[in-house]
Amino acid sequence: MLTLYVKTGCAFCAMVLHRLDELGLQYDEKNIGDSGIADELVARGGKRQVPYLVDTDAGVEIYESADIVKHLDTHFAPKE
């Protein structure tokens, strides 16, 4: 299961969301505009930075959009 923490208007979040959609992946999107979600993110990752991906199947939690996209491409992009 994929969960992505985002913030409205965040260009880095938009880049990750776009890649998730390109790959046709299902994910749970959580917006830190909700203070409860923001608190959940800090409790989970230690800081209030987005995007933040949680991939429970791989046991991975990642900050940084480029690292997230790399993870998605490595684990979910079709192999040529």
Cα 43 to Cα 12: distance, rounded to the nearest angstrom:
21
Cα 65 to Cα 77: distance, rounded to the nearest angstrom:
16
pLDDT at 76 over 90: yes
pLDDT tens-place string over residues 33-54? 999 999 999 999 999 999 999 9
Beta bridge partners of 61: 54
**H/E element, 28:** strand 28-31
| Biggest alpha carbon–alpha carbon distance for the chain | 42
| Domain segments of the chain as ranges | 2-76
Dihedral through CA 36, CA 38, CA 44, CA 50, nearest 10? Answer: 150
pLDDT tens-place string over residues 57-71? 999 999 999 999 999
C-beta atoms surrounding 44 within 10 Å: 13
Fold of 2-76: Glutaredoxin (3.40.30)
The pTM assigned to this predicted structure is 0.95
